[in-house]
Amino acid sequence: MSVPLRDPANQVSRRAITLWLLESLFGFVLLVGGSALAATWISGASWSWLPRWIEAGIWWLPAAVAVLMAPFVVIEPFWRYAVHRWELSGDVVYARSGWLSRQWVFVPVSRIQTVDKEQGWFERLLGLATVEIRTASYAGSSSIKGLDYAVAARLAEDLARRAEELRDDAT
Amino acid sequence: MTASPTPPGPPGPVPGGAPPPGQGPAPSYAPAARLSPRMLLIDPVRMLPSLFLPLVGVLFVGGFSPPSFGWAAIGVVGSVAYSVIRWATFTYRIVDDRLELTRALVSRSVRTIPLERVRGVDIATPPLHRLLGLAVLRIDTGAHGAGKQEGELDGVTVAEAERLKTVLLRTARARRAATPGAGPEIGPDGPLAAVDAPAAGAGTCVPGEAIGASEAIEAGASAHAAAHREPEVVYARVPRKWLRYGPLSGAYLLTPFALAAGAVGLAFQWGEQLGFGGDAAVSAGRWLWDHPYLLLVAAALLVVAMPLAGVVMYAIFNWDFTLRSRDGYLVAERGLITRRSVSLERRRVRGFEIVEGLAERWAGVARVWAIVTGLGDSQTRGQLLPVVPRAEAGRVTGAAIGVLAAPLRPHPPAARRRRLFRAVAPWAALTAAGALLALATGAGAWWVPTGIAFVLALLGVPLGLDRYRSLGHAYDGTHLSVRSGALRRAQAVVERRAVVGWTLKQTWFQRRAGVLTVIAGVGAGVGGYEAVDVSEADGPAFAAEVTPDWIAPFMR
């Protein structure tokens, strides 16, 4: 059995894979570097309560971390690309994101308070952008990452204009 | 952010046809007013604690000699002069549609609060104020961030406080009623939300009528009468004998320990100031250490004092709690020494949350909070009822806010497995690790933590089962509700119109168990209310049931 929700219509940009690859590489380097630092610290400390075999084999720690995490560095971006999708129809924004864990967000345009278009450092490099949609609640807010810049700009503009129109109707 | 499309309402501060009741207010609000001069009696008294130590210090250093008396006099005179200047340079006034608080002590600063942003007005009377017939008026604007745009008038006469409250609330409401825009779906101060009040006058849904619908049922008044002049209804007057339930909430139970710690801290601080030095304290501590039974007796006394102190503190804060509705506001009043009155605008109330701790459930009592849009500090301000019997909580919330007319639906068996696993597994793992360590090292000391972990693992079984029993969600056509938690069980009941979006979440483990978590995004209270571990089929269906237009098109 699976969740009875259909896939949102649009995929994010293919270049988002590169973005996620860069990000996961960055995280990988930090993680392996951190465990290497911890290993240096532990091997230099020579605590009496630590069993001898741990101290002798402490350099296996960063190696193990690297071997275990390496596949995910490659898998995560492609997995995310398969999961991350979005759609705007019937004045509702429907977006799916995640990889190991997933989340589906539904934001009706009439409840939107602000729409932001953002570009991080990597995103600017790749010509991508993130659309942040905010309502009065964190659970009704969504950010769609890895959109092509032109697509993001159009989506943000459409949403802002439509939100304005709908509010006029509602009040 | 005064809305540019302000309609051509009456320019005066009091809208026509809505004369403030009670004592006739001064006809003009334009001249700036000062706080009551009686505050000059309170301010120096309040400064005493901060003056006390320096004064004692001066007397000790200089001895009881003319110069030190001189210094002490300068200190006292200085602080009195400071409060006089502060009083003289602070003024407030209501101009057209705003309240201006002007402070010209060092540099001139004017804080302007647009009346249409006033969400509530609290009046508190601390003991000294009460003695002099004064009150502290706090104006809640619902601004985010502590104290960003809040206003405080510390020390107006009680009559003036009541008058200001009436004027502020009435004007604020009239302004907003004339300015559609704070519509039901619009949350707290979103940039678009606040500006976007179109001049397209009477739309299909006048905010006043939106509440009118729910109010009319309760108060038996028409929508407009409800908006303007509604008979005062007392929803709850908590009898004093219910004060004994207070400690069950766990509130103030640690008071004896806090007091003891404070006393020890003070003893150290003053001991040094008064010249005993640290040695005396250390030797006192050592003496106590040599007589451990004294420490034990002290600890036992503190423990025995817990429920007693709990009852006393709780009674002081929740004395004669009353909840009534007045002019479109829910007003909660409580307190013995400081009488505190909190007004919640009913138009902004979106639901309520019933909270029960383990001991409270055993005794059949509960606490209630209101879920209000744009309420800062909702933990203390939003409380609708202190600890009262469950039936009473149901009755009062039903009369004041709304009723959930549907039973909670249970969650699938997978949710029970997950609750049990999460309550038991960590402690079971610790037990296993501890046992392994104990067997491997042969050290008997390891068996103590292992035993504790084992007991906790066993306790995890009833806890997990209870957590599962607490889970539930419901929708009755106007209100949705979710419940979770065992040690602190909380059930939120929220109006459908407060929902601003949905988030569905599924972790990898939840996916394997075929469940997910549904979070209703609500522009009030904590922002989101979760139904944990709903089955994959029921989760989206629940969201679609509440807001079909938003979810149904995307269902398979």
Nearest residue, CB atoms, B185 vs list A8, A142, A170 = A170
**Who among B373, B501, B553 is closest to A139 (CB)?**
B501
A139 and B536: CB-CB below 8 Å? Answer: no
| Mean pLDDT for the stretch of residues A121-148 | 89
Alpha-carbon distance of B523 to B141, in angstroms, equals: 16
List, as one string, the DSSP characters of chain A: ----BPPPSEE--THHHHHHHHHHHHHHHHHHHHHHHHHHHHHHH--SSS-HHHHHTTTHHHHHHHHHHHHHHHHHHHHHHHH-EEEEETTEEEEEEESSSEEEEEEEGGG--EEEEE--HHHHHHTEEEEEEE-SSGGG-EEEEEEEHHHHHHHHHHHHHHHHHHHHHH-
Residues 369-388, chain B, touching A (beta carbon < 8 A): 373
Q: How confident is the model at residue B129 (pLDDT cuts 50, 70, 90)?
A: confident
Q: Is pLDDT at B91 greater than 80 in this prediction? A: yes
Amino acid B225 reads A
Contact flag A100-B508 (C-beta cutoff 8 Å): yes
**pLDDT at position A166, please?**
82
Distance from CA of B310 to the nearest CA of A (A): 36
B14 pLDDT above the threshold of 60: no
Q: Which ranges of B20-143 would DSSP assign to H, the alpha helix?
A: 39-62, 66-89, 127-131
pLDDT, position A76 = 94
In angstroms, the Cα distances linking B310 to B263, B270, B299, B548 are: 18, 28, 16, 48
pLDDT of B493 higher than 60:
yes
pTM listed for this prediction = 0.71
Average pLDDT (B284-308) is 82
Alpha-carbon B316 to chain mean position = 17
Query: What pLDDT shows up at residue A118?
Result: 86
Q: Considering chain B, what is the average pLDDT of its residues?
A: 78
Q: Any idea which of A102-106, A158-162, B188-192, B372-376 has the lowest mean pLDDT? A: B188-192
Q: What is the percent of chain B with per-residue pLDDT over 90, rounded to a whole number?
A: 29
* A96 Cβ under 8 Å from any chain B Cβ: no
Residue B63, pLDDT score: 66
Residue A8 has pLDDT above 50, yes or no: yes
Considering only CB atoms, which chain A residues are within 8 Å of B192?
112-114, 163-164, 167
Most B CBs within 10 Å: which of A1, A110, A135, A137, as the mutation test of the B interface?
A137
CB contact under 8 A, A170 and B514: no
State how far the alpha carbon of B217 is from the alpha carbons of B137, B220, B226, B400, in Å: 32, 5, 11, 10
pLDDT at B323 (0 to 100): 93
Domain definitions of chain A by residue range: 11-80, 85-166
Least confident of B114-118, B435-439, B449-453: B114-118
Position B471 pLDDT exceeds 80: yes
- Nearest alpha-carbon partner for B440 in A24, A113, A51: A51
| Chain A: closest CA distance from residue B230 (Å) | 25
Mean pLDDT of A41-67: 80
Element (H, E) at B257: helix B255-273
**Domain A85-166 CATH superfamily:** FACT complex subunit Spt16p/Cdc68p (2.30.29.210)
Burial class, A21, CB count within 10 angstroms (exposed 0-12 / middle 13-18 / buried 19+): middle
Task: Say if the ipTM goes beyond 0.95.
Answer: no
Chain A: residue nearest B522 by CA?
A: A137
Average the pLDDT over B125-153 and give the result.
74
Domain locations in chain B as residue ranges? 33-176, 237-321+365-401, 413-468
Query: Which of these, B256, B255, B282, lies nearest to B268 by C-alpha position?
Result: B282
The percentage of chain B sitting over the pLDDT mark of 70, rounded to a whole number, equals: 77
Distance between CA atoms of residues B134 and B340, nearest Å:
13
